Amino acid sequence: MKSSVFSRKLTKGLLCTVALLGAANASLAATTYEIIPIETLGGDQNFANDISDTGFVTGNSRKAGGTQLFPYVWRAGVVEEIPILPDVPTFGRGFGVNNSGVVAGESGNGPSKPFRYESTTDTIDDLGSLPGGSGGVANDINDAGTVVGAANNGQSVRAFVSDGTPGDPLEDLGTPLGTTDSFARAYGVSPSGVIAGVARNDSDTTSEPTLWLEDGVGGYTPTTIGSPAGSVFGEAFAATDDGRAVGRYSDPVSGQTRAFFYDGTSSVDLGLLPGVSFDNARALDLNEAGQIVGYVADFDTFPSFGGAAVLWKAGAIFDLNSLIPADSGWNLLSANAINTHGQIVGFGTFGGDTRAFLLTPVPEPSSMVLGASVALGCLAVRKSWR
């Protein structure tokens, strides 16, 4: 008798667990987004490159009547122009922003200089260059103030790290190959300091996706993480604290660029959108929940010439254009960054212009009702066990 009762209770419990998981998956799959245009600096074009967990966004924008792009920081409908460093051509981009609104980016483009901008004090600092070289670009910054990017050392482009202190020299991160003339770039840094990028591998055959981890004695150890196709060219654009990473690699069979996810041990191809002709893909960012954003496109580096902003989650790929209101007037081309809240920034077209956007998740009421109904049903089952 006890065995039969226990069996029925166990069956009900398992059914509740399955139902709850199903409801959670339904909610995940049914997520839609509110789209918020990010204001320009007065012109007809802008791009959004990064978003913090506190809602700061950075990128670059045209001014009214101008053709050059200038860096900006945006939050809650207020856009602020970031000044250009002196003695460089009038041009700039903001690439990374932290929760305090501190921006890392580049000023000028011939050569460019890496900058750190403090929005609360409206101060911009030139982060300098590597010994023997000049110029560079700062690609990301975390809440500890760690800045990463790429600069020239007089022999080659190298990945660097900086604590953001003006006047302090940039630190060369090195490469798996170990020579001073081997190529490397750093693109992203996690909250705890895991750095993602690309570097010449130790066999000197190609440049591969690379992570730099702190070695415990004040330096960093570069480690090639490879790609789904092994030792082929690739880049890692972002990483999490536990060493997961995303990026792109060159598929040796198709010759196309494909997106990959590295789980800390091995890499997998993230796939393409079914039913469309886009055969190139890049994964540009991921959050701790494992949501990945990027784009698919006809041409690897030019989603503006035919592409779609995408989201990879729970083993599936989603065209973000299908998850915004159908009458929005937007065509989302690239999703460049995602924060821990699932908010996404990137660029697309609206009214014939290239514009930056912010997507904020809006769970569908039906999914919320489903989850609540299942939870109440399981609560009733649990009470019946007593």
> Confidence class of residue 301 from pLDDT cuts 50, 70 and 90?
confident
Residue-level pLDDT at 61:
98
Residue-level pLDDT at 364:
66
**Residues 114, 136: contact at Cβ < 8 Å?**
yes
Over the stretch 18-61, which tens digit does the pLDDT of each residue have?
333 343 444 445 589 999 999 999 999 999 999 999 999 999 99
Q: Is residue 18 part of a domain?
A: yes
Q: Which candidate, 98, 73, 71, 66, places its Cα nearest to that of 84? A: 71
Could you tell me which residue, 385 or 97, shows the higher pLDDT?
Answer: 97
Residue-level pLDDT at 89:
84
Q: Is residue 19 part of a domain?
A: yes
Strand order in the sheet with 113-118: 92-97, 102-107, 113-118, 123-126
| Tally of structural domains, the chain | 1
Residue-level pLDDT at 168:
87
Of 74-83, 267-276, 277-286, 376-385, the one with minimum mean pLDDT is 376-385
Using DSSP, state whether 80 is helix, strand or coil.
strand
H or E stretch covering 368: helix 365-385
Is a pLDDT exceeding 50 seen at residue 287?
A: yes
The amino acid present at 342, given as its one-letter code, is: G
Over the stretch 176-208, which tens digit does the pLDDT of each residue have?
999 999 999 999 999 999 999 999 999 999 999
Q: Is residue 147 part of a domain?
A: no
Is a pLDDT exceeding 90 seen at residue 376?
A: no
Angstrom distance (rounded) from CA 356 to CA 330: 10
> Confidence class of residue 13 from pLDDT cuts 50, 70 and 90?
very low
Residue 13 sits in which domain range?
1-30+365-386
Q: Is residue 129 part of a domain?
A: no
**Residues 278, 260: contact at Cβ < 8 Å?**
no
Task: Give the predicted TM-score (pTM) of the model.
Answer: 0.87
Q: Which residues contact 361 (CB under 8 A, 6 or more apart)?
A: 31, 32, 33, 341, 342, 343
The amino acid present at 73, given as its one-letter code, is: V
Angstrom distance (rounded) from CA 289 to CA 78: 29
Residue-level pLDDT at 380:
42
Q: Is residue 24 part of a domain?
A: yes
Q: Is residue 350 part of a domain?
A: no
Mean pLDDT of 225-253: 97
Is a pLDDT exceeding 90 seen at residue 10?
A: no
Residue-level pLDDT at 365:
60
Using DSSP, state whether 374 is helix, strand or coil.
helix
- Tokens found for residue 248: 């792109």
Mean pLDDT of 129-137: 93
Phi, psi at 365, each rounded to 5°? -55, -35
What is the average pLDDT value for the chain, to the nearest integer? 88
Residue-level pLDDT at 379:
39
Q: Is residue 246 part of a domain?
A: no
> Confidence class of residue 369 from pLDDT cuts 50, 70 and 90?
very low
Over the stretch 80-104, which tens digit does the pLDDT of each residue have?
999 999 888 889 999 999 999 999 9
Of 102-106, 285-289, 378-382, the one with minimum mean pLDDT is 378-382
Is a pLDDT exceeding 90 seen at residue 1?
A: no
